[in-house]
Amino acid sequence: MERTFVIVKPDAVADGHVGAILERYEAAQLTIEAMELREITGDFADRHYASHVGKDYYPDLREFMTEGPLVALVLSGDDAVARVRKLNGATDPAKAESGTIRAEFASTLRRNAVHASDSPETAASEVSLWFPNA
């Protein structure tokens, strides 16, 4: 059983899409192991996005991720990382396959509804940052 980390981003929370997004993951036979509605600080965003700090686009990303509540999740299932990324679709909603979460709920490259770990190693690191006791 593989674990992955997901964020339902502030845009999707504000637009009332949390339930529909969670339903997609559960319909795909993924198990929610941990979930929390929270707001994060700029310092916490810096820790999560450490590899992006200092890039020209990062200040806008930091501001977006701290603008309101988000939902952090740990999901598990067979091949969870790849399956969640496929369900989410391409980062740019204009390029996301029809039927994916981003094709349906995202509005722009930045306001793209969800984040998901890109590898099992990243998932382990993100889970330990967001849910240290999980």
Using CA atoms, how far apart are residues 63 and 86, in angstroms rounded to an integer? 27
Give the C-alpha distances (Å, rounded to integers) separating 3 from 31, 105, 115, 128: 9, 24, 14, 11
The tens digit of pLDDT for each residue in 40-78 reads 999 999 999 999 999 999 999 999 999 999 999 999 999
CA dihedral for 118, 121, 122, 123, sign (positive or negative): positive
pTM more than 0.85: yes
Residue 134's pLDDT is 81
Name the residue range of residue 112's domain.
Answer: 2-130
Evaluate if residue 39 carries a pLDDT over 90. yes
Q: How many domains does the chain have?
A: 1
Average pLDDT value for residue range 12-41: 98
The tens digit of pLDDT for each residue in 87-131 reads 999 999 999 999 999 999 999 988 999 999 999 999 999 999 999
Residues 129 and 43 sit within 8 Å (Cβ to Cβ): no
- CA neighbor of 45 nearest in space, from 10, 81, 4, 13: 10
Whichever domain contains 53, its CATH number is 3.30.70.141
Cite the active site residues.
115
Give the C-alpha distances (Å, rounded to integers) separating 130 from 17, 94, 123, 125: 21, 29, 10, 9
Residues 6 and 116 sit within 8 Å (Cβ to Cβ): yes
Residue 37's pLDDT is 98
CA 27 to the chain's CA centroid: 17
